[in-house]
Chains A and B, each alone.
Chain A
Amino acid sequence: MTMATSSPVRERLEELKTIAGLTGIPEPPIKEVHVFWLAGMSCDGCTIAVTGATAPSIEELLTGAIPGLPRVILHHPVIAVEAGEDFVAWYYKAWRGELGAPYVVVLEGSVPDESRAQRTGGYWAALGVEGADPWMAQPVSVNEWLRRLAPGAAAMIAIGTCATWGGVPAAAGNITGSMSLMDFLGPNYKSALGLPVINIPGCSPVGDNFTETVAAILLYLVGLGPAPEFDELGRPKWLFSETVHRHCVLAGYYEEGTFAEAFGERRCLVKVGCWGPVVQCNIVSRGAIRGKGGCMKVGGVCIGCTMPGFPDKFAPFYKTPPGATFSSLFSKAVGFLMRKLRRISMSERNWTPLWDRKGAVPTPWGKPSRKSWFHRLVDSFYRWWQYRGSVRLDKWQTYEEKEREMEVIWMGR
């Protein structure tokens, strides 16, 4: 990196590129982007999830190790080297427009209703203090920071279900009046770039969903990527438009109408409380971390943690969702027949054509069951259908038989 930036080397590199007609990855028009991370009513789980991301990883973004992408300067209390005033100073620079670079605000955690706390002279969450006289300094609430930074931000990103929709702190009986970032900023909010709030839900979210969205926006800004699309709730469309059930590794069990009745049974989990068929999430196809894990992949039910209705519209957890109770009746009926027929065609396909001719499988491992008349009937119908209108590959017993027939075709007879 040092070599490329020192000027003689840099010049020589540019010269070589020109001679060879190589354009490579263009230099980003913006060299740096500041990211201000704020936490409301949060558990820090979103931060932790982001440290697990690898596509791209946080250290790649922060060290500017990805060609074409501006370096991300992250102001985050959990990883900052500076503490206290030195740390908060950057927030003031952004507010006063003195950064000299664009900035993005990321909110983790829901936004509490500070007016409720003020009624009794307190506050719910704050960052830094203000006041000329240190004895009388007052804390600056997170809400105040959001109000200050939102108008100038290139984008406001809500990460996690608390910031995107309200989440657990906004569940029934909460006393803090917690709400989402959209609720707090109102329906007319647009960032300096004209973007409404971008929402990356999940409790906790998949770390890669966040870093990928950031990368998508940055790649678009430097002209390499397509304009990222967002759905009607501001979710990245390519990540959240599918239900988690459609990509579920257990969805085939649903189709065949087989359901787990107890925890740990490897079947479709809707009967033990899975909401996957109606939840927009990509965790089973993407995996939780570096492709590994993902709720239903390992036996966990979907509790709808990416959805605006979480948690109350999915509770009590571990109870069969009413939808699953009814739709599973149909899949049970259809699946019963389908399973039977599939078992026949699968067992047929567990035999090589040679074993078919010999009528036996050459292994002491197990004894394939004898084919019943029903099995044979189904299978011959199946083969007739399979080869209908095309060549029937099982009709020749030997090389000679096939050659004889081909000879006839060859001679045009």
Chain B
Amino acid sequence: MCFQNLPIEFDEQGRPRLKSGVRDPYAYRRVSLAEQEEKLRELMVRAGYIRSLDFDPVTRVAGALAFHCVVDTKERKVLSANSMATFFRGYEVILRGRDPRDAIFISSRACGVCGGVHATCSVEAIEMAFGIKPPPLGIVLRNLMLALEFLYDHPLHLFLLAGPDYSQALVEPTNPTVWARAKEREAPRSAAFGFKTIGDIMTAMNPLTGSLYLEALEITRIAREGYVLLGGKYPHPETVVPGGVSTFVSFQLFNELYPIIVKLADYAKKAIAIWDDLTEFFYEVNPLYRKVGARPKNLIDSGIWDDPEAYDADYAHCAQWGERRWATPGVIVDGKQVTTNLQLLNIGLEEFVEHSYYEEWGSQRFPTDPLGAPLSPFHPWNKLTKPKPSPQSWKEKYSWATSPRWDRKVMEACCVARMWNTAAAQKLPSRRFIEPTGESLRILLPKGEHPEMVVEWRIPEEWNAFERNRGRAYCIAYTAAVALDNWVMGLEFLKQGKTKVSTPFTIPTDRKVRLGVGFWGAGRGYLTHHLVAERGLISNYQIITPSTWCASPRDPFGQPGPYEEAVMNTPILEEAEKPEDLTGIDILRAIRSFDPCMPCTTHIFLDGTGLVITREVNTCACGLED
């Protein structure tokens, strides 16, 4: 039984239904934040060693971000942190009332970092709503394109955004003893990358001058070169259409892609060795690093990369085609996988706006999904985006981000959740390069500059900043393997003469109400678009992105969002003579490990003062309520 909090039970055939005899089944009691706030305010006034640590803006995240936290400098603990998104462009509002086809290009522009994920997700929502099934080659090309996008995205994060936090330029001034050890410590996997010591790796990670930094920048270009062969341009592609793709196919396309994919698969071997060595070194220097960015193992993933033989865009079969994806969808609660069924994933969703700048919509149009399973009034198909900029109050509303929850639990989205769910479920059909074992994922990487090898990512014992980063390095290998698999499969379809890449479609203008949902993935994990279409236009459009999950403010039950929680669990390990010299590197590592795509903004601020301490700024978009 996967639901503990929602009023859902299963009948004899295993179909979900509302628990009988519950009056007002989705009602809840709101937890007040006032008392907490009062306590912290008093504490700050009384104790001088309790101080605030400000970052405005947090740099090196996609978009910008600022936060403030309250730190106990004696105990070296973070007492309080809140996450706050302060950026709203109203994409969901703009989409309402437009032609459904506009959703592809408009929603794509929600995020310029993870290019094409929104376009593809919206296409899958449209395909479901209007019953358009793409031909196999169209699906394979989509998979290839979105694999190449992650092969740009993961190296970008690991070496350009998060990487500098582990470079000599930042480690030496913030943790001189760690740097001293690093210079002495031989790198165990030296053979894979050629640096002798951990210190050498750190020096190579220096921004703009380090060879690993510059190599990663170049790798992101190579991956994007592959991407634009399929999508035309990056970040916003031009070839993702309902019913497949509009890409011209010839052997030339496959030939040009091949060396690119092989090069990226080869690069994965190096990236993994580096992040394995770095992670183990930090654990060795101080076991407390295992607590940086730590939070419970609650992860959700929508799955990605459809099986060309299985995907039919039909909600009635989403449990089946979902489980045949290269990334198995699923939900992990306390380290245990509770479902891999896309329908259950969908009906467990709720989005709360208690602490967000929106009005409640107050109505429930769809009590059930198209298969008759119960839907919450807070489900995205029922939710309407009603923005209401209002004064900030920590007790009331403080963020443009909403609080998505699954079974009313706080979930984290991450590319590692893809591997985790796939590894644990063991539902992946037999594939050429990837094997899930239940505890791990084995990935075969072909020979390139480096010899052929099998890398194995194991489900981590702890879940923290280092495992997020290390996992992301393994995701490069995983994604390259998916790309290779789809490349081989694409050629197979060419051999069989199955060269169609799209299915023609029309947009009906009748009054029938059609529901669609795109379950796809972004560079950072989970992504869904919920579409309601009628009379040839969009009557409702709802986007939940990975950073919506991670940057979420507190929910009505008082549970903090993942960034907030991870920062509060982070010990301050930085070496500083005086408390005012703290740069907050540990907190920054915790936040950056999530790969925040805060084109939206998150503000982590003092919980409980009722006053704005800092907030921020900016820019991209994919994180929030766009």
Write the chain A residue with the least CB distance to B64.
A77
Write the chain A residue with the least CB distance to B504.
A262
Q: Is the CB of B208 within 8 A of A59?
A: yes
**Alpha-carbon gap, A143 to B247, bound state (A):** 40
Which residues of B (234-249) have their CB < 8 Å from a CB of A? 234-239, 241, 243-249
Least distance between A205 CB and chain B CB atoms (Å):
9
Of B24-32, B95-103, B445-453, B512-520, the one contacting chain A is: B95-103
A353 at the interface (CB under 8 A from B): no
**Alpha-carbon gap, A303 to B249, bound state (A):** 21
**Alpha-carbon gap, A203 to B110, bound state (A):** 12
**Alpha-carbon gap, A293 to B62, bound state (A):** 24
B54 at the interface (CB under 8 A from A): yes
Least distance between A401 CB and chain B CB atoms (Å):
45
B525 at the interface (CB under 8 A from A): no
A289 at the interface (CB under 8 A from B): yes
Least distance between A39 CB and chain B CB atoms (Å):
3
- Given known pairs A43-B620, A80-B59, A84-B55, the reply for A204 and B235 (CB within 8 Å) is yes
**Best-surrounded residue of B58, B208, B209, B214 (most CB of chain A within 10 A):** B208
Least distance between A300 CB and chain B CB atoms (Å):
3
Contacts of B618 in A (CB 8 A): 39, 42, 77, 125-127, 142
Least distance between A232 CB and chain B CB atoms (Å):
26
Which residues of A (223-268) have their CB < 8 Å from a CB of B? 262-264, 266
Contacts of B96 in A (CB 8 A): 173
Determine which of A123, A125, A293 lies in contact with B232 in the assembled complex, contact meaning CB atoms within 8 Å.
A293
Q: Is the CB of A290 within 8 A of B112?
A: no
Q: Is the CB of A109 within 8 A of B613?
A: no
Of A2-10, A164-172, A330-338, A381-389, the one contacting chain B is: A164-172
Contacts of B234 in A (CB 8 A): 48-49, 52, 204, 288-289, 293
Contacts of A108 in B (CB 8 A): 619
Write the chain A residue with the least CB distance to B499.
A264
A407 at the interface (CB under 8 A from B): no
**Alpha-carbon gap, A80 to B64, bound state (A):** 11
A85 at the interface (CB under 8 A from B): yes
Write the chain A residue with the least CB distance to B226.
A292
Tally of A interface residues using CB under 8 Å: 91
**Best-surrounded residue of A83, A123, A125, A137 (most CB of chain B within 10 A):** A83
Interface string of B68-112 (1 = CB under 8 A from A): 000000000000000000111111011011110110111001111
**Alpha-carbon gap, A61 to B113, bound state (A):** 22
A27 at the interface (CB under 8 A from B): no
Write the chain A residue with the least CB distance to B390.
A120
Q: Is the CB of B217 within 8 A of A51?
A: yes
Write the chain A residue with the least CB distance to B249.
A264
Determine which of A43, A122, A137, A172 lies in contact with B390 in the assembled complex, contact meaning CB atoms within 8 Å.
A122
**Alpha-carbon gap, A203 to B112, bound state (A):** 9
Contacts of A63 in B (CB 8 A): 208-209
A409 at the interface (CB under 8 A from B): no
Q: Is the CB of A297 within 8 A of B232?
A: yes
Q: Is the CB of A175 within 8 A of B93?
A: yes
Q: Is the CB of A126 within 8 A of B239?
A: no
- Given known pairs A176-B88, A315-B102, the reply for A52 and B115 (CB within 8 Å) is no
Name the 8 nearest CB pairs between A and B, nearest first: A45-B112, A293-B228, A300-B238, A39-B619, A44-B620, A316-B99, A263-B246, A43-B112
Query: Could you list 29 A-B pairs, sorted by A, with CB under 8 Å?
Result: A39-B618, A43-B110, A43-B599, A44-B112, A45-B109, A45-B113, A59-B208, A63-B208, A79-B160, A82-B59, A83-B59, A108-B619, A125-B617, A126-B86, A126-B617, A129-B66, A139-B617, A169-B94, A173-B94, A263-B245, A287-B228, A289-B221, A292-B228, A292-B229, A297-B232, A299-B248, A305-B236, A311-B102, A311-B106
Interface residues of B (CB under 8 A from A): 52, 54-64, 66, 86-91, 93-94, 96-99, 101-102, 104-106, 109-113, 115, 138, 156, 160-161, 164, 169-170, 207-209, 214, 217, 220-221, 224-225, 227-239, 241, 243-249, 357, 387-392, 500-502, 504, 583, 588, 599, 609, 611-622
